[in-house]
Structure 1
Amino acid sequence: MTENNTLTAESARAAVAEQMPWLQQALTDLVAFRSVHSTPGLEKDNAGAAQWVTDAFRAEGIPVEPHTTTDGSVSVIGVRDAAEGWPTVLLYSHYDVQPASDVDNWTSSPWSLTERNGRWYGRGAADCKGHVVMHLAVLRALNALIDSGDLDDETATALSSIGIRVVVEGSEERGGYGLEDLLSSNPELFAADTFLIADSGNDALGVPAVCTALRGTAPVTVRLRTLEQPMHSGQFGGAAPDALLSLIRLLATLHDDDGLVAVDGLTSEARWEGRGPDETTFRADAGVLDGVDVLGAAQGLNPNDLTISRPSITVTGLDSLSVADSVNAVVADAGAVVSLRIPPGMDPKDGQDALIRHLESHVPHNARISIERESLASPFSADTSGPALKLLSQALADAYGADETAEIGSGGSIPLSNALLEKYPNAELALFGIEEPSCRIHSADESVDPTEIAAIGTAELLFLARSGALAT
């Protein structure tokens, strides 16, 4: 497995490749759990997924334990202690997933890992169960290399001596505060010198990257009420104020005619200076239909100016009428979840305040408005100058056979990132992973390319094998 008494990228790829059949079966088993946090009726699925993760990491020599958190989820945490003078690396991922309520839009069952055209389809295949099994495959490869006796002393010492801490969350998608509360009350469970957060990805398939910028979130739930109860639209329609139409008018004020945010305190002229897709690539990645505008293009803006560097507002939930069950009545009550994304450099509380002020000052027809603040998450900006991040960047480039590793941004939010660095300010944190635009995370037909899992796993294995450079 080795060449010139060192673990080469080629050897690391081979070690991970040996684990891919196991990994596919493991991902099949894990995807089968409908582990959507806080959803009534799915308690057994969430408990089953947590137990599966616990058993799997214990089998690879990491003595993890389940921890029930304040939001009712179970996080799986444990550590193989480092030898004296060696650092500890934390491997993060999460086993909970987004709902797959739009089952009719899936080509195959979201809860059954299905291979088509070289990709593996299923809810969580990429986000983030694919990362869970990637970590496991790396540990399996690591153990197999140690047991083989073929490693040179330096590499064998590194793989045996580095501390490995595992944190697998159970509520990242629909909660998240449970793990942050556990970090606040029991920070020793998270102690590490390097945090490898595997919940991100690359701008393009086969192009290695580390994510250096994340937007935060500051959502609200807004509800308008205009009538005591729905009233017959033939008898009262035209004069009785319709709550749904009023809500639509209110939501329309959040953007200007070009589709850009039009809320005082949230407008911005910021531009993204890093790597990102051009309009044509973004159109293909996002599945924008032919003839439909990409927002900002007419104003000379690049997609990542709007998806990373500036606030964005999206309606992610709407309560009112079902088309299938429509009735001839004027709507009395309507509500929406308004998702606000906050770029690095902006305070999420200030952004949420600005959004609320706007909504309250633009209510049509004096409708009664109520607004509920949802959980805040701060944006994140990475420092890539430290030795661990440089080591990981080189490992990623070597794993992919690339000249360099790109630095990219993401519009997503991982609140734990800032919280970890607040507790451990001298640690380094890297965001990376198996997700790329074709994965369609959070959507129907979510999938992962197994070559990305293998490449990211190879990079993680190389990082661990080279960790002697970080030892003191």
Structure 2
Amino acid sequence: MTLAETVRAQQPAVLADLARLVAIPSVSDDPARADQVEASAALAAGLLTELGCPDVQVVRAAGGKPAVIARYPAPAGQPTVCLYAHHDVQPEGDLALWSSPPFEATQRGARLFGRGTADDKGGLAVHLAALRAFDGQPPVGVTVFLEGEEEMGSPTLAALLDAHREQLAADVFVIADSANWAVGQPAFTTSLRGIGECYVELRTLDHAVHSGAYGGVAPDALTTLCRLLATLHDEHGDVAVAGLSTSPPPELEYPEDRLRAESGLLDGVQQIGTGTVVERLWCKPAVAVIALDATPVARASNTLVPVARAKLSLRVAPGDDARAATAKLAAHLHEHVPYGAHLTVTPGDSGEPSTISFAGPYAEVARTAFADAWGVPPVFVGQGGSIPMVADFGAAFPEATVLVTAVGDPDTRAHGTDESLHLGDFQAACVAETLMLQGFADLQS
């Protein structure tokens, strides 16, 4: 059989491995599930051992979640490829909103549903499929690196890269944690927005007072906070914070009907911002109020609220600096606070944006492999979401080729209810990565 035929024949076993991984609720941000994150790492390490890997370790940085490093030594004269995925997942949310149990891989039609099927245990399964196709003897050196805290923002990744630099060093890094352009259309991600967050607390009174007695004279904190938050965008919906960068947009069309279907925009609701859709999604900053603390409606009384809080999420354009951009957001808030209210802005976590070069012989081999596996050439996309560890890898290994690949698609609903994986695209991704590894080896012959 050809390599592609071998991969296709082995899909049932690979999907069985994926189902075992999905069954473990490895939510890294939930202390009550710390044992499940440990179990997920142990299962991944066991699967790699079963595939003949001679060097499998579960490692962690101080205070961090378990990661797995598995190393197949490079044959003489061959490069080493590091295959990245993460085995932790997002919380499942409201169980009532799932069409099937979130931690039970369930096939309906052409899709496999379950938390982590795509993000990112599906990425791990692609790596397992490629190694299985070579019967545990890949033609190049392979290091599999499985992170255990990506969904928490990778807080100890830099320490892991520093502590295990020699073990993780590679000529090529394949990061299987992005999204394809469409079902049946593979993509390489070449830009990622960064992220910054801040917590806003606004006070107008030292205690709550009767809204009839003092309303119209004393400003309440919630209305004042709403006025402040409204300054974050101009009349077109563009971010109004001064000094934030934008990057040049790609020439790729994102039709409005597709945007509405994929985003869930309600009938009549208008888009915000100016520029093309891909420019606004991938190349310009965005800011959103993602949480508010105030009196719940069910407990409301005719009282002026003395204090209100909000959490803001800032998406940072490629080429900008996440911490500096967050500082500019804080400065904007302080400059626009209404009525002399007392404002405190506390920065939270941040992650840097990335621009990923797609150039050189390894990139061209990857392009060919993906075109052969899908039957159509790959496109090059940005992502509005953030994968800060891409910047960490680029900084740690600046001479390496970095390829950001995907198993998900626009209907995957990563992080949401009914997360799913398109099985046809999953098989194509498995074939593509297998052909790519063989292609890297053939470069040396």
Normalising by structure 1, what TM-score?
0.88
Residues in 1 aligned to 2:342 and 2:315: alpha-carbon distance in whole angstroms: 26
Partner of residue 293 from structure 1, selected from 252, 270, 278: 270
1:82 shift after superposition: 0.5
Residues in 2 aligned to 1:163 and 1:433: alpha-carbon distance in whole angstroms: 21
Q: Which residue of 1 aligns with 2:222?
A: 244
Residue pair 1:274, 1:407 contacting (<8 A) in 2 also: no
Q: Structure 1 or 2: larger strand share? A: 2
1:380-399 aligned at under 5 Å gives the runs 380-399=354-373
Is 1:282 aligned to 2:259, yes or no? Answer: yes
**Once the two structures are superposed, what CA deviation does each residue of 1:142-192 show, in whole Å capped at 9, x if it has no partner?**
21xx7xxxxxxxxxxxx5441110111111111302112211233113111
Residue pair 1:286, 1:437 contacting (<8 A) in 2 also: no
Is 1:192 aligned to 2:170, yes or no? Answer: yes
Residue pair 2:93, 2:417 contacting (<8 A) in 1 also: no
DSSP-derived class of the 1:259 partner: coil
1:108 shift after superposition: 2.6
Is 1:360 aligned to 2:334, yes or no? Answer: yes
Q: Which residue of 2 aligns with 1:179?
A: 157
Which residue identity does 1:168 align to in structure 2? L
Partner of residue 288 from structure 2, selected from 289, 314, 318: 314
Partner of residue 25 from structure 1, selected from 16, 20, 32: 16
Is 1:331 aligned to 2:330, yes or no? Answer: no
1:66 shift after superposition: 1.2
Q: Which residue of 2 aligns with 1:405?
A: 378
Q: Which moved more, 1:189-198 or 1:38-47?
A: 38-47
DSSP-derived class of the 2:399 partner: coil
Residue pair 2:82, 2:173 contacting (<8 A) in 1 also: yes
Which residue identity does 1:281 align to in structure 2? R
Residue pair 2:239, 2:286 contacting (<8 A) in 1 also: yes
Is 1:49 aligned to 2:40, yes or no? Answer: yes
Q: Which residue of 2 aligns with 1:465?
A: 438
Residue pair 1:276, 1:408 contacting (<8 A) in 2 also: no
Which residue identity does 1:446 align to in structure 2? E
Residues in 2 aligned to 1:142 and 1:322: alpha-carbon distance in whole angstroms: 58
Which residue identity does 2:196 align to in structure 1? A
1:267 shift after superposition: 6.7
Partner of residue 60 from structure 1, selected from 47, 51, 57: 51
- Would the alpha carbon gap of residues 331 and 45 (structure 1) be closer, same or farther in structure 2, given more than 3 Å must change? farther
Partner of residue 93 from structure 2, selected from 90, 96, 101: 101
- Would the alpha carbon gap of residues 354 and 210 (structure 1) be closer, same or farther in structure 2, given more than 3 Å must change? same
- Would the alpha carbon gap of residues 322 and 120 (structure 1) be closer, same or farther in structure 2, given more than 3 Å must change? farther
- Would the alpha carbon gap of residues 96 and 258 (structure 1) be closer, same or farther in structure 2, given more than 3 Å must change? same
Residues in 1 aligned to 2:438 and 2:81: alpha-carbon distance in whole angstroms: 12
- Would the alpha carbon gap of residues 165 and 246 (structure 1) be closer, same or farther in structure 2, given more than 3 Å must change? same
- Say how many residue pairs are matched: 444
Q: Which residue of 1 aligns with 2:387?
A: 414
Q: Which residue of 1 aligns with 2:73?
A: 81
- Would the alpha carbon gap of residues 78 and 288 (structure 1) be closer, same or farther in structure 2, given more than 3 Å must change? same
Residues in 1 aligned to 2:134 and 2:301: alpha-carbon distance in whole angstroms: 61
DSSP-derived class of the 2:83 partner: strand
Q: Which moved more, 1:202-211 or 1:179-188?
A: 179-188
- Would the alpha carbon gap of residues 324 and 113 (structure 1) be closer, same or farther in structure 2, given more than 3 Å must change? farther
**Once the two structures are superposed, what CA deviation does each residue of 1:32-53 show, in whole Å capped at 9, x if it has no partner?**
2222223231222222212121
1:358 shift after superposition: 0.4
- Would the alpha carbon gap of residues 64 and 259 (structure 1) be closer, same or farther in structure 2, given more than 3 Å must change? same
Q: Which moved more, 1:255-264 or 1:32-41?
A: 32-41
DSSP-derived class of the 1:292 partner: coil
1:111 shift after superposition: 2.3
Partner of residue 265 from structure 1, selected from 221, 228, 243: 243
Which residue identity does 1:341 align to in structure 2? R
- Would the alpha carbon gap of residues 271 and 293 (structure 1) be closer, same or farther in structure 2, given more than 3 Å must change? farther
Of all paired residues, the percent bearing the same amino acid is: 38
1:441 shift after superposition: 1.3
Is 1:349 aligned to 2:320, yes or no? Answer: no
Partner of residue 430 from structure 1, selected from 395, 403, 414: 403
Provide the alpha-carbon RMSD of the alignment: 2.3
DSSP-derived class of the 1:434 partner: strand
Residue pair 1:278, 1:302 contacting (<8 A) in 2 also: no
Unaligned runs of 5+ in 2: none
- Would the alpha carbon gap of residues 205 and 471 (structure 1) be closer, same or farther in structure 2, given more than 3 Å must change? same
Partner of residue 169 from structure 1, selected from 131, 147, 152: 147
Unaligned runs of 5+ in 1: 147-158
Which residue identity does 1:465 align to in structure 2? Q
Residue pair 2:119, 2:177 contacting (<8 A) in 1 also: yes
Residue pair 2:139, 2:438 contacting (<8 A) in 1 also: no
